Amino acid sequence: MRRGGFASLSRHGESPPNLLTHRQYVAVYCGEPRVRLYMALALCTSIGTLALFGEQLAVLAGVAVGLLPEPFVEYGIHRFVFHSRLYRFEVAADFWKHMHYDHHQDPNNQHEIFGPAEMMVPFAIAITLPLGWLAGGMAGGAGALATGLWVLVIYEYFHGAAHLLAEPPTAYGRWLKRIHALHHFHNEKGNFGVITPICDLLFGTYYAGPGAVPRSPTVRNIGCTEEEAHRYPWVRWLGEERPDPR
């Protein structure tokens, strides 16, 4: 394995997981039921859009608004929703735990790496349909939704690869893997981008290595500490927290 990623973090108290070859990872990725669902939805929506609206300019406008905002949507949700203090509100605590806390607790648990379909699909619909409708009515909404679902498929590929794949086949993939490993094992307050770090670079949350920022004491619990659990009794699931291996 190249320098960087999990290997470069082992000296900070983490043990590199049993990672996969690219062929093995593709088999795992394509065999994941949630990924298959996203692919099926994306394919059916794309075929339906072409059958109903053809190559209308409104469809192309929908594709554009479904694709171009992606880095900002991904960054905004990851930073300001998943890394927020939503657990302080009882109605949102279980959602927050299921969507991201569990993933930071055990970053290499395959079940937690791929997002829950019952939440990821509604997210894709809620974000893309209104934008597409504004850009091109019904045809634009259909184009945006199809694009958003394909983006979800791509997102899951890169996110899974960052955790499970030993050696991404491209330099870009290896870069993404390294900076995402830093987010999970060194400091969770940066490197929020998964498909692209462009927003981290734009908004000053990108860091290239462990020496750039201090190691965060909340990298595993993303701020939901035992002190917070005493303050907000509905987060007693904190008893499941894994001990820091240092």
- For the stretch 98-108, pLDDT in tens is 899 999 999 98
Question: Which pLDDT score, from 0 to 100, does residue 159 have?
Answer: 97
Q: Please indicate, yes or no, if residue 9 is contained in any of the structural domains.
A: yes
Residue 127 has a pLDDT of 93
pLDDT value, residue 235: 83
Indicate the SS3 state at residue 191.
coil
In a domain, 234, yes or no: yes
Q: What is the DSSP letter of 218?
A: T
Q: Is residue 52 part of a domain?
A: yes
Q: CA-CA distances (angstroms) from residue 154 to 39, 110, 129, 150, 205?
A: 10, 17, 19, 6, 23
Q: Is 6 helix (H, G, I), strand (E, B) or coil?
A: helix
Residue 96 domain flag: yes
Q: Could you tell me if 138 and 147 are in contact, meaning their C-beta atoms sit under 8 angstroms apart?
A: no
Tally of structural domains, the chain: 1
| Contact in structure between 63 and 140 (CB atoms under 8 Å) | no
The single-letter code of the amino acid at 129 is L
Is 79 a member of any domain? yes
- Which pLDDT belongs to residue 6? 36
b/e 160-187 (16+ beta carbons within 10 angstroms → b): bbbbbbbbbeeeebbebbbbbbbbbbbb
Identify the segments of the chain with pLDDT beneath 70.
1-17, 237-246
- Residue 235 lies in domain: 5-15+25-240
Strand partners, 165: 20
pLDDT score for 55:
77
Q: What is the pLDDT of residue 3?
A: 34
Let me know if residue 11 belongs to a domain: yes
158 Ramachandran zone, left/alpha/beta (phi>0; psi -120 to 50): alpha
What tens digit of pLDDT does each residue of 77-126 get?
A: 999 999 999 999 999 998 899 899 999 999 988 889 998 999 999 999 99
pTM for the predicted model, two decimal places: 0.87
Give φ, ψ of 16 to 5 degrees.
-60, 135
> Quick one: DSSP state of residue 86?
G
3-state SS, residue 146: helix
- Cα(60)–Cα(245) distance, integer angstroms: 50
Tokens of 83: 């890394």
Residue 245 within a domain: no
Question: 10 Å Cβ neighbour count for 49?
Answer: 26
Residues 156 and 35: beta-carbon distance below 8 Å? yes
**Residue 146's pLDDT is what?**
97
20 part of a folded domain: no
Q: Determine the pLDDT at residue 230.
A: 84
